[in-house]
Amino acid sequence: MSMDTKILEVITELQAIAQTGLTYAKDEFDIERYQRLMAISAEIASYNSSKKFEQIMEIFSSDVGYKTPQVEVRGAVFKDDKILLIREKSDGLWSLPGGWGDVNFSASENVVNEIKEESGFICEAEKLIAVYDKRRYVSKPVWPCVYKMFFLCAIVGGEAVTNGFETTDVGFFEAEDIPPLSEDRVTNWQIEVCFKHHRSPALKAEFD
């Protein structure tokens, strides 16, 4: 979806109200109203994006239960004061290893799994660096609402290996030599925060 930030905020709120209402509504007339509200949010989205109404309704309808932000995890791994980055196959740019949180795993377990899958390194999560609302740190509109969790992690084994279908390269980079980033996943400012916590581990976790 590509649209104005304010329009996206309105669509997101309407869809969340409809989804939450459908979760708890018992009265058939209330259910009909929330179904219509869901359709209205999809209609507005279709008018302001390249996706068709039916495609958007399929996306909206696939999510059930009380609407909450999604969770994304990113791991900051260091060696010799250099940070581990992986090159994303999808856009050829660099990022901290990580991705969506999977069910049945804690946030720290998720980030350790992502690091292993994307870089080949076996790590332990040592501390939570920060939790940020993704919408506040990217230049383009974001859907859905995402909380990004950054963890400081230490290598305990493994070696640099790309998985081929998500990542094409692995490397360690100095703070002054960060390559072009996949900014939908991580920004230069967030990399700077990771270096700050690596160099001063006693710092408290940050949040917005």
**What are the structure tokens assigned to 45, written together?**
């989205």
Q: Tell me the pairing of strands 70-79 and 146-158.
A: parallel
Q: Say what the pLDDT of residue 205 is.
A: 97
b or e along 60-83 (b: 16 or more beta carbons within 10 Å of the residue's beta carbon)?
beeeeeebeeeebbbbbbbeeebb
Task: Tell me the average pLDDT of the chain.
Answer: 92
Homologous superfamily, domain 70-207:
Nucleoside Triphosphate Pyrophosphohydrolase (3.90.79.10)
Per-residue pLDDT tens for 86-128? Answer: 999 999 999 999 999 998 999 999 999 999 999 999 999 999 9
The reported pLDDT for the residue numbered 139 is: 64
Helices (H) and strands (E) counted in the chain, each on its own, are: 5, 8
| Structural domain boundaries in the chain | 5-61, 70-207
pLDDT in tens, 71-87: 999 999 999 999 999 99
Query: 179-208 b/e with 16+ CB inside 10 Å = b?
Result: eebbbbbbbeebbebbbebbeeeeeeeeee
The pLDDT score that the predictor gives to residue 33 is 94
Query: What is the Cα–Cα distance from 107 to 124, expressed in whole angstroms?
Result: 12
From the list 52, 86, 72, the residue with the least C-alpha distance to 166 is 86
pTM for the whole thing? 0.79
At residue 193, the 3 state secondary structure works out as helix
pLDDT at 4: 76
Residue listed under structure tokens 């259910």: 31
